[in-house]
Structure 1
Amino acid sequence: MRVMVIVKASPSSEAGEMPSEQLLTEMGQFNEELVEAGIMQAGDGLKPSSEGVRVHFSGSGRTVHDGPFAETKELIAGYWLWEVESMQEAIDWAKRCPNPMMEDSDIEIRPLFESADFGEELTPELREQENQLQTDIAMRAATVQTYLFFNGRCEEALEFYKTAVGAKIGMVMRFNESPEPMPQDMIPPGFEDKVMHCAFTIGQTTVMASDHPADVPQFGAFRLALTVPSRADADRVFDALAKGGKVDMPLSETFWSPHYGMLTDKFGIGWMVMVCGENSC
């Protein structure tokens, strides 16, 4: 489920008082934890209402009112968008948050509407329109990179590309350096020192690669690595790409991404769909 976590305004935030270095540091650390856990989708602080406006609607009329606005306790000073398993999980995370204000303050948690909440009024046509809009929005923040697979010759290939096209080698991680044990059926004897993941650039383009045995057919020679902002986006895009194709690895949590899966679409193109994680962006 998705929730908006609302930081309510206070006298100090409405006065435009800036947070201390200590609070900025603590909030930065909290946000890092949220991102690493795959919880945070977005978040920002808001300037005081004195710098905002309200647009009043009355029939066909529109009236603009300049801030500041009264009733500080009804205003907001910042927000997050979180994707959590339950309201209780959101509450647990909120309790870990540093006090965002200099004085006593409140954080409000509100679930976002999901398509299922609208019942039959959301017709199949409207549901399809909503899904397309969500996909279009997510794809604006998505990235696609080429991922190459070599049958134990990745390191040799890197040296070849350095000479042939001036490739610049970035990070290289070997199977024996993995933070989590790899399934034995994926790592044949002698592959411990092979490349589990690497990145290199040719000109302005970054390419990723790794070693995989030839007897693991679902990998193929290459795949397109699609990174999207949230688990909901990953679910939606993964299901859409898999129609008429086949799922090679269902979406699940890995040490490099909170939501990662592999599929082959109906045209035979392999995809890796993932949410940006600590070791995937």
Structure 2
Amino acid sequence: MSHSFTPYISFPGNADAAFHHYQEVFGGELEIGHYGDFPTDGFPFTPPADAVSHAQLHGGLVTLAGGDAIAEDGQPLAPLESQVYSFLIGLDTVPEAERLIATLTAAGATVTMPFAVAPWGDHYGQVTDRFGVLWALVVPGAH
């Protein structure tokens, strides 16, 4: 039996834009479906046809899944933004991490913690992207 772990993000109505953005930033193959792509008879609410029912990005720097979080009244849920979680990306070199940070910030991310040598010896930093998702980046130091 094989195992996998894929973080799932529930977006407040902007999953389509978020997943296309993540594909541009992280690369990989994007599979995306909308509620309008299939019958929704029997759903407890009527989702907007253009809302994302499920998306998955795989084969690039990250693997992610998600969709639009729709309330029972058919309205998107509140915007994301949390310091409770982050997604940690391990990179091989400092220049590689700096390029990724530059790509994210050029696309609207905010540096939450500057990328620098941490007390434990690794390079570490954080950015919050324009969708409210917190990304932590680490490059192992010489231990």
> TM-score higher than 0.5 here?
no
Q: Which of the two has greater helix per residue? A: 1
Greater relative contact order (Cα 8 A, min sep 6): structure 1 or 2?
2
State the structure with more CA Rg: 1
Name the TM-score, length of structure 2 as normaliser: 0.41
